[in-house]
Structures are given as C-alpha cells and as structure tokens.
Structure 1
Amino acid sequence: MATSNYSEGAFTSFILNGIPGLEAIQMWISLPFFSMYLIAMVGNCGLLYVIRVEEALHRPMYFFLSMLSITDILEINTVVPKTVTIFWFKMKDIDFSSCLAQMFFIHMLTGMESGVLMLMALDRFIAICYPLRYSTILTNSVIAKIGLATFLRGAMLMRPFHFLVRRLPYCRTNIIAHTYCDHMSVVKIACGSAWVDAIYGLMVASVIGGFDILSIAASYAMILRAVVGLSSKDARSKAFGTCTSHVIAIIITYTPAFFTFFTHHFGDHTIPHHIHILMANFYLLTLPMLNPIIYGVKTKQIRESVLKLFHAGKTVSTDEW
C-alpha cells in the first residue's frame, strides 16, 4: 500500500492508522464515538431550529449560541465521517490534498469555537455590567461583524499551516498514527526539519488560546465584581445563573484542549499514544454533544421554548387525529 502511493521521491497519499494498539477493539470504540456524534447532530440542529422559530430567542446571547452550534456541526462533520470509515470499513487512505483540507478546517473551526466562547463571555459581561445599554451595544450589525472577524481570524492564522506542511518532504513513511489529519501528526512523519511548523503552531495557540482565555478571565473578573456589589441575594443568584452554562462550556472545552496540545508538543514519551488519540477525538466531540444539553437544561428561555414547540406539535397532531 505504501509503495503504490510513492511518486518522485515522496508519498502522494497517507494512511490514517486509527488508534495504534487498540485495533482489535476499534469497532467497540466506534459505538460511543458514533453515538456522541448523533447526539451532537440532533441536539445542535434542534437548538438552531428552536432559536430560529422562537422570536423570544432572537437576542444576542442566542445568536452567539447559534454560532457555537454551527461551528460544532461543521467541526464534527470534518472529523467523524472519515473516522467512522476507518473504524468500520478499514478505509484508511486519504490523499494529500484531502488531508491538508481536513487539517485546515479542524484547526480553523476549533479556533473559531474558542473565539465564540470568548464572544459569549463578552456578551455576559455587557448584559450584567451594562444592562441598560445591552441592546444598543450588541446590535445585529455588531454581532455580524465580530462573528465574521472571529471566522477570519481563524482562517487567516490557520492558512499558513497548509503551505508549511506542503513544503515538507514525505519520504520516510506515509502512515499517520491518528484518526484524522492533525497538524503535528502530519508534521512528525516528514523527512525534513519541522521546527518552523512547531514554532508557528505554538505561536498560533498562544495568539488564539492566550487572547481568548485572557479575555474570558477579564470579563468574568468584572462580572464577579459587579455581581458582588449587588445588594439583593436573588439578583446575585440570577446573575450568576446566567453565566453557569457558559462556564461549564469553557471548562469542558479548554481542559481537554490543553491536554491534547501539551501532550502533542511535550508529552509524547510520557502519555501512551492511544490515550492521546482517544482524548483528541473525544475533545472534538464533547462540547458539540454537551452544548445543547447544557444550555437546554440551564437556560430557562430555551426550556420554555422547547416545551412550547412540543405542546404545539402535540396539539396539531391531536387536532389532525
């Protein structure tokens, strides 16, 4: 298989090897993996539908939540279909251009996901600290512009990865020990020096992750100061309640993200490789799966809208009968 993909001293396609060491149980691993994918797809599509049809949810907070859901849907569909074909049908080949495209979209969308979480923190800061100016500050035009800026930031910072990876020679092996084309997994099988790629990867992670985390931390520091200054215990509880869902989303996003990033760059010899790959896959699926559940359970307006639509549908069905 390797020699058939070898042309003019370099491989023209790669083999995604799945989870090395766990090949015998990959079919069983695929069951929770695919179940998470289905839950994420149904949950996020349902959330987008509820926000679209309910006028009460046409507010900045839910527009940002829609951005997060769209990003999550695109992200899991960039990874899961190919991973499932590896687990179920042993279709491990991927051509060089498709690998680069998958790598770009994975990293661009994870960067956008981080940016949307940062925008959601900004939304909560304005809602709690400047409630009277909330609707005038976060107009539809402003939301569209900052959403576009978040997308362009991810696209422009991730685009150089394409050129950096393409310039490297691949003459040693074409087997990628992963379920998808992650930047560092591809770079590690190159023959030439990849120090530029490693440095640029660290720089992008610092720019996106560092900026977003500092912005989120600053927003919540000011939120905490504003909430503590409220005289009413009920008002403090309500203010904190509006942030709970977002804080949970931040924790379940950045914790595995940091684990994946640092093990890729610094922990290859201390963390078993199959643990790293499993964490990388579940990292991409955890937030998309839990996002609709968290916001559906914790956000009163979404719960009420879902129940309203459910009862409306039940009434229509009864009338037709």
Structure 2
Amino acid sequence: MGLDFKGRVAIVTGAGGGLGRQHALALAKRGAKVVVNDLGGDVHGVGGSVSAAQKVVDEIRAAGGEAIANGASVTDFEAVQGMVKQAMDTWGRVDVLVNNAGILRDKSFAKMELADFRLVLDVHLMGAVHCCKAVWPVMTQQKYGRIVMTTSSTGLYGNFGQANYGAAKLALVGLMQTLAIEGQKHNIHVNALAPTAATRMTQDLFPPDMLEAFGPEAVVPAMLVLAAENAPTRTVLCAGAGAFESANITLTKGVYLGIGDDIDEQLAARLDEVRDRTGETVPGSGAEQGANELRLARQR
C-alpha cells in the first residue's frame, strides 16, 4: 500500500523530469496535493518553460490526484515566496518540501570558471535556503513540517570534476543539521537524501547495462520515508538500484596532547591514533565536539 500522505500538501522543486517527477508522482499517488515546481531549463540551468511542470501536473490529475504547476526559479526568493503563497492560497497549508532542483556545470577545478562555481552553489544551496525560508513560518505555525534536502555522494565523498556540485551538496547537509535542531520544537523534521540515479543529469555516468537498475524510481522510497509523518530527523539516507544506506559525519574518540612548542611533532607522530575510528560517535550537535575535547583535557 505504501506510506499515507492523505491531506498533506507537498512542494517538490525541479519536478518537471527525472527524480523530481518521480517524487511528485509518488507523493500524489499516496494522497498528497502537490506543487510541481520546475523552471524548465536544461541540465546546465539554461532556458525556462513551465510546460515540463504542467505535463507532470496533467499526469497526476489524469491519475485522479491534485496538483498545480509552478515555474519559479529557486534562485529567486520572491518567486519562491510566490510559490509558497500559491500553495497556501490553493490548499491552506504546506507539509512537505522536497528540495530537488539542481543543475550541473562539471569541469576540473583547474578549468572551472568561477561563475559556474557560483551558479551551482546558487541553485543547489541558496535554492534550498530560499525554499526552506519561505515555508519555515508556515510549518512553524502549523507545528508540522517535513523537509528533504537532496545531497549527493559527491558532496559526502567527492567526485572528479564536481568541486562546485560537491561543495553545494555537502553544504546542504550542514543546513540540515542546524535546521533539524531548530525545527525540533515545532515538529519540523529535516533530512537529506543522497540519490544514485540515472536521470538526464547523470545518465552518461552509468554503464548501459545498469541504466535500468539505477532508474530514479528506485530512490523514491527513501524520499517518502524521510518526508512521512513518522520520518526521522537529521538522517542522511543514500539510495540507488534498490539498495539503501545511511551516511554519518562521525567523531573519533581523540587524543589529549596538551599545549606546547612540540605539540605539532607529537600530533604528527600520533595522527593514526587520533584518526583511529574505534568507538567513534555521531555527535548530537556541534557543541558535543567541544564537550569531548573538554572531557579529554580533564582526563589528562
């Protein structure tokens, strides 16, 4: 049957094709009313037309669901505010935000134009910031919200030719960490999805015989779990080809070395010990790193 989204209103950005389209269709199928947002540009962020979003809306309506199209660029905060107003005017609430919109401007760092670096940050990171900022007062007032960021294995682990994309994608995890802490008292859960999927943005990266296995629909269950009523919060779920993992930023137990002129030498000599992952933890907040350092200092 699947998870229930009846009565929920969802905004999915970049939902005119690929992963976003699958997200929108799956949410609608499970009862959500969906704002299908898409600028309608190409994978590099060039051009724009609401027809891609409208096509998905037509698909949802044909299947008996409710949806409206929106052509806002996530880089334009006023347009994003207009999109949230459109959802509020139509259905009176916004429960789910899936930040999926993105572009690629791949090149090795040596050859990359700074404008291409900035634009990728603008779409992925600031695009998500704009959308979160626009829905935050609504979700706070409702005392309910589910926000899904789209991160990437490139952000988590790196990938040649994608310095701009990787920087933006890991920044979204940082955004998730703090928004999850700040949203907790308002019942706003914030998570991140790291998809491995063959879409028009990524299809050239996959061996032809694996294209089908890595279809975008295989990633959707992870999004649904992260957007559902009983969703976790501050979770990074990786998904691809029907497999699911969780990624974490961990902290090793560490070593106390003190303060002095030769600490650099001591640290160099004991670096393996500092990096030893035995007993590593996932801190509940940034303050816990400081607390661990204080504990080590007290134990000396």
TM-score (norm 1): 0.23
With CA pairs under 8 Å and 6+ residues apart, which has the higher RCO, 1 or 2?
1
Report which of the two has the higher share of helix.
Answer: 1
Q: Which has the larger radius of gyration?
A: 1
